[in-house]
Amino acid sequence: MGDHYGETDSRVLNRECAAVSVPWGKPETLPEGSYALVTQRLGGSITVMCGGNLYRIDERNADALGLEPQIAPPPPAPSDGEQTAETIEQAAWSVLATCYDPEIPIDIVNLGLIYACTAQALPDGSFRLAVAMTLTAPGCGMGTLIADEARDKLLGIPGVAEADVKLVWDPPWSRELMSEAARLEMGML
């Protein structure tokens, strides 16, 4: 899942394909025969440059680009079968690290966008996850899309019955929140 493309992977869509415009988050349909330059392929989505605009394509539509879909396996359940708030939170952080900003090849955890992630046991033995996340810029139209992706992936964790992902703006995101590895990758150290 970690393919990071150089500027050379140019493709032609062999069928029309659903996409989301970046950074506006607007659903679009890219027509068959369009030229698409793959700029990033991480965390279950492919970012392409098409007609001078960036679009995000779900990995399930990779075949439209002539690529083999790379679908991530579901997150593993705790090995001893015993689920605690702590093991659910660990699984949640791992899952959140598979969500990427479509324009930056760094996951939302290393970007410092996740402010909190807590698991709470429910009466039936399942868990509810509460996540507070922010965005690099408040006006980013991709915010709800990234939050929805995070929620969908969190609900895939065995034992998780509810996932609440809230977008928060306080404190505002800044580069200091990025991990050292992320700042190094972005050339900010």
Domain 10-65 annotated CATH 2.30.30: yes
* Domain boundaries for CATH 3.30.300.130 within the chain: 85-185
Per-residue pLDDT tens over the stretch 80-126? 568 899 999 999 999 999 999 888 888 999 999 999 999 999 999 99
pLDDT at 6 exceeding the cut of 50: no
pLDDT at 3 exceeding the cut of 60: no
Mean pLDDT for the chain overall: 88
Assigned CATH for 85-185: 3.30.300.130
DSSP string, the chain: ------TT-EEE-SS-EEEEEETT--EEEEPTT-EEEEEEEETTEEEEEETTEEEEEEGGGGGGGT----PPPPPPPPTTS---HHHHHHHHHHHHTT-B-TTSSSBTTTTT-EEEEEEEE-TTS-EEEEEEE--SSTT-TTHHHHHHHHHHHHTTSTTEEEEEEEE--SSPP-GGGS-HHHHHHTT--
* Domain boundaries for CATH 2.30.30 within the chain: 10-65
Per-residue pLDDT tens over the stretch 117-155? 999 999 999 999 999 999 888 777 788 889 999 999 999
The more confident residue out of 4 and 76 is 76
What is the model's pTM? Answer: 0.78
